[in-house]
Structure 1
Amino acid sequence: MSINNLTPEELEAYAEAHGEKKFRGKQLFTFFNKSGRVDLEHSNLPKNFINQIPRVDDAKIFRTYVSKLDDTKKFLFELNDGNLIEGVLMHYKHGYSQCISTQVGCRMGCVFCASTKKGLVRNLTSAEMLRQVYTVEAAYHIKVSNVILMGSGEPMDNYDNVLKFLKLLHHPQGHHTSYRNMTLSTCGVVDGIDKLAREGLPITLAISLHSPYNDLRSDIMPINRKYNLEELIAAAKRYSEATSSRITFEYTLIAGENDTRDHAVALYSLLKGLRAHINLIPLNAIEEYDKGRSTAEAIQSFKKELERLGAEVTIRRELGSDISASCGQLRRNFEGGIL
């Protein structure tokens, strides 16, 4: 058991079980989640209590890569077991947004994603997700206001740990991040979407779509063979209604594959009637996928067609594009000796 995965109530029970007053549990929670620290030897807790505490999960900054184009920073974090994960810190006018990982690797098999090429190594604990945020905040003396679960891994494939992370990050005795400032990105795990909808938390849901046709989507995203587009869109509607929120649909544009006018019309038809925002993403190529990104002209034409039809659509601003760009590339390039 890792002690910094626990809620205040769980920590209070832990303190009492180890001969301490309940308030020591709250002290621990505040130390981990408000102060963002794990160096218990420098806390004001009794030494005999500290000596009884088992594992503390951590995610230390192993490497930092700073974009020469903007203020974006990309990180490799090292976990206690030596595994590496990655994340991104982005600075906007409204504050700092951080993209974090939820797994070491991924088993979803999306063809153009670097994270999945070596499969899933293991799930992250809730504390390992929290530590990605707290470590960056301490390193740069900042407060992260928006957290995006869009790094390596499929959050719905690590549902219980992810849900606990979201609740711990939101806790008023801790970081106290608003649920509305959290975004969870999924490739389309319908069961997970429905489970999260039942929680009633107003977390922004982002769904990686990438095609309005089942046959093409199944080719590039194996999850579509389990949950097809009709099932996925129905789940998105249920989530939107349960949380009174708008769904973001991520759509990576691939030259000659999914970027024609017909694709735009089909995409609009698929999402019609749903509170939706479409986020267009130029493809970041990897060695194992031989398709190219759409031209700037094709991307603009696709956007204009969607706007003509009445869709809400933006083109994702590419931040830190001079650093290994897509999820998993940083870790893989470092381990391969490229970085």
Structure 2
Amino acid sequence: MERTKPLRDIRSLSEDDLVALTKELGQPAFRAKQLREWIFDKNVCSFDDMTNLPKVFREKLAESYGFNIPVERAKQVSRDGSRKYLLQFSDGVSVETVGMPSKNKLAVCISSQAGCAMGCAFCATGMNGLTRSLTDQEMVDQVLHVSRDFGERVTSVVFMGQGEPFANFDNVVSALRKLNAPGGLEIGARHLTVSTCGVIPGIKRFAELPEQFTLAISLHSAVQSTRNKLMPGVKKHTLLRLHEAIQDYVEKTGRRPTYEYAMIDGVNDNNPEMQALIDFCQGTLCHVNLIQLNDVPDSPLKPSPMEKVETLQRRLTMHGVETTIRNSRGNDIDAACGQLKQRFAVKKSSDQ
């Protein structure tokens, strides 16, 4: 059966476009403002919900425009309350998104690309390569979907799902600004975190943004040869240049970047690796998140024992480096860091 081509998403129109469209459909100018508020401030996904617009106007809009929101193909619920979603966009491409509730807060981990081209050895996402980058609205739609499913306001968003955000820089920044915008979701800039493998041009551009968005770097080793094996997609962005770029970022912004360090048994948890991380961080403004590697099927890499994670935390703290051990959320449903795959539950969804 031939797939019907979706209507153009009205949310892709600019404010000027909405003004022109309103005029074209014979409506007074103030209707454009009302339409904009429904779309971007109230985030409605149906013309029927725009109750202060005339019915004839809504019907005309619906003839040519729609809301291409993603369809939930599968959902899994973790013992810790986290929920992982397989969301499919109008072109058939799907991504995974995770909602993580905690007391009166709701964090969402979103994808910036379908798949990933970085090829990190410990990550399930890159096993099938990159399908395509997501639009800004597709990223925002992931947040809106989780918010609707939980019936709660989202308080923080991390761009730590599938993809390398800085390989899709412009759309990621546009999504950040939509999530932060007054009158919309209004998520504080410091509660919007972008995690990069260490793409230096992206870090430099990120440092120029006026907003106080948070930067996280997937480091995983401060030894160049080890990092090259673990993260071949960023070989050209050497640790020396990365360190310089991050220090420039700190000087320009005054903000504290976070280093993500997944501890892998026998790979980056020995004494020379620990000392290299201490040397990389000591005397700089940063925060280190230590995490036991999350298991990925068919991967020979295994998590470090917790004793080694705690040892590294003590050593970093002793050298004045702010460090926490992060608990994995949603590990039992493969929703933790490094476990997201584009097609995780396609087969399961038919059974639900």
Q: TM-score, normalised by structure 1?
A: 0.92
User: 2:5 maps to which residue?
Assistant: none
Runs of 4+ in structure 1 over 6 Å off: none
User: 2:161 maps to which residue?
Assistant: 151
Change beyond 3 A, Cα 1:62–1:213: same
Inter-partner Cα distance in structure 1 for 2:174 and 2:295 = 34
**Residue of 83, 89, 114 corresponding to 1:73:** 83
Q: Which of the pair has more CA radius of gyration? A: 2
> How far is 1:118 from its partner?
0.9
The runs of 5 or more residues in structure 1 that have no matched partner are: none
Inter-partner Cα distance in structure 1 for 2:299 and 2:158 = 26
Contact 2:111 2:162 in 1 (8 A): yes
Inter-partner Cα distance in structure 2 for 1:336 and 1:111 = 25
Q: Does the alignment pair 1:239 with 2:249?
A: yes
Change beyond 3 A, Cα 1:57–1:309: same
User: 2:220 maps to which residue?
Assistant: 210
Inter-partner Cα distance in structure 1 for 2:182 and 2:16 = 13
Inter-partner Cα distance in structure 1 for 2:132 and 2:339 = 14
Q: Does the alignment pair 1:31 with 2:17?
A: no
> How far is 1:80 from its partner?
1.3
Contact 2:70 2:88 in 1 (8 A): yes
Query: For the aligned residues, what is the CA RMSD?
Result: 2.2
What is the SS of the residue equivalent to 1:200?
coil
Q: Does the alignment pair 1:124 with 2:134?
A: yes
Deviates more, 1:24-33 or 1:265-274: 24-33
Change beyond 3 A, Cα 1:303–1:56: same
> How far is 1:239 from its partner?
2.0
Change beyond 3 A, Cα 1:199–1:329: closer
User: 1:323 maps to which residue?
Assistant: 333
Aligned pairs for 1:1-339 (under 5 A) are: 2-8=9-15, 11-16=18-23, 19-44=26-51, 45=53, 46-51=57-62, 53-54=64-65, 56-68=67-79, 70-93=80-103, 95-324=105-334, 325-327=336-338, 329=340, 331-335=342-346
Inter-partner Cα distance in structure 2 for 1:199 and 1:19 = 39
> How far is 1:285 from its partner?
2.4
- Show CA shifts across 1:202-222 (max 9, x none): 111000000001111111112
The amino acid across from 1:307 in the alignment is T
Inter-partner Cα distance in structure 2 for 1:24 and 1:213 = 59
Change beyond 3 A, Cα 1:170–1:17: farther
Change beyond 3 A, Cα 1:192–1:227: same
The runs of 5 or more residues in structure 2 that have no matched partner are: 1-7
> How far is 1:241 from its partner?
2.5
Inter-partner Cα distance in structure 2 for 1:14 and 1:109 = 44
- Show CA shifts across 1:93-134 (max 9, x none): 351111111111111111111111111111111111111111
> How far is 1:175 from its partner?
1.3
Contact 2:261 2:291 in 1 (8 A): yes
Inter-partner Cα distance in structure 2 for 1:12 and 1:50 = 13
The amino acid across from 2:158 in the alignment is I
Deviates more, 1:232-241 or 1:150-159: 232-241
Between the two proteins, what is the percent identity of the paired residues? Answer: 35
> How far is 1:16 from its partner?
4.3
Inter-partner Cα distance in structure 2 for 1:20 and 1:185 = 44
Change beyond 3 A, Cα 1:17–1:328: farther
